[in-house]
Amino acid sequence: MQGLQDKVIVFAGAGGIATATATFLGAAGARIVVGDVVEASAETTAQAARDAGGDGIANVVDIADENQVKHQIDLAIKTYGRIDGLFNVAANIHPDEVAKDTDVTGIDLAAWQRTIDVNLTGYLLTLKHALPHLIAGGGGSVVNTLSGAVYAGMPDKVAYSVTKAGIGALTRHVARRYGKDGIRCNGIAPGLVMTEQTERNLPEEFRDMILATTPAPRHGRPEDIGATVAFLLSDLAAWTTGQILCVDGGTTMRT
């Protein structure tokens, strides 16, 4: 993929989609700085970029903690001298947390607040600390991760769905407010992607039900999302901003 050579991309979050994205970026010569609450996950994603021919470093970051977010951004600047892009992919989706995310009458407020802190406030914090560096360097690209759940009207996972919808508004705000500063900001809304986390969180019968209503003949794979994220982070997407791309096998058909 063109337009990524030597670019420095900060990852807020690791896991299957992040690792697939890191592979595309590394193959194109990019360098990444990965932060995740699980050190091993962050290192796996950074290693994917290195294995593909790029470079990457990992550190432990809870994006709900502003000091930790600032430290990651400072680490990127100290290591590589600049930031060219930001990929927000972290989410509060540990199985124990998902089990607490029920509906509006049953959800525990602590679970609701933690999801807001990670999924929404965390994205605000990464943007708050990354944008000044992106602007100082002449501009850059941001990709925020939403979910097909935003459009599905799920009977549970209320905190997850609401926060992911909020990321859409945050994405358009950044695109509008900082566009003249050279900032592009887009969102990606994956459908059901078969990561290890998905397999742990969703029973097989639910996955089969989703596939039955999906125009495509299979569920998504991490590389389906990673390829789109890499495109949005690259110079090939130089005139694409303020968009939410649904990559979901046709489950959501939007104009």
Tell me what pLDDT residue 143 has: 99
Q: Residues 136-173: pLDDT tens digits?
A: 999 999 999 999 989 988 899 999 999 999 999 999 99
Distance CA(223)–CA(226), nearest Å, equals 5
Q: Residues 163-206: pLDDT tens digits?
A: 999 999 999 999 999 999 999 999 999 999 998 877 877 788 88
Distance CA(23)–CA(26), nearest Å, equals 5
In the annotation, is 151 catalytic? no
Tell me what pLDDT residue 32 has: 98
Tokens linked to 164: 């992911």
Answer yes or no: are the C-beta atoms of 240 and 203 closer than 8 Å: no
Instruction: Indicate which residue of 80, 123, 151, 160 is catalytic.
Output: 160
Q: What mean pLDDT, rounded, does the chain reach?
A: 96
Tokens linked to 242: 């303020």
Tell me what pLDDT residue 198 has: 79
Tell me what pLDDT residue 201 has: 77
Answer yes or no: are the C-beta atoms of 90 and 167 closer than 8 Å: no
H or E stretch covering 59 = strand 55-60
Region 25-47 average pLDDT: 98
Tell me what pLDDT residue 1 has: 77
Region 221-248 average pLDDT: 97
Q: What residues does each domain of the chain span?
A: 8-244
Region 4-9 average pLDDT: 98
Tell me what pLDDT residue 217 has: 95
Q: Residues 113-126: pLDDT tens digits?
A: 999 999 999 999 99
**What is each CA distance from 177 to 70, 71, 104, 180, in whole angstroms?**
22, 25, 33, 8
Q: Residues 55-104: pLDDT tens digits?
A: 999 999 999 999 999 999 999 999 999 999 999 999 998 889 999 999 99
21-23-25 Cα angle (round to 5): 70
Tell me what pLDDT residue 7 has: 98
Region 221-226 average pLDDT: 97
Supply φ then ψ for residue 245, to 5 degrees. Answer: -95, 120
255: pLDDT strictly greater than 80:
no
CATH class of the domain comprising 8-244 = alpha beta
Tell me what pLDDT residue 13 has: 98
Tell me what pLDDT residue 229 has: 98
Helices within the chain (DSSP H only) = 16-27, 39-51, 66-80, 95-100, 109-115, 122-136, 149-152, 158-178, 196-201, 204-212, 222-233
* pLDDT grade for 248, boundaries at 50, 70 and 90: very high
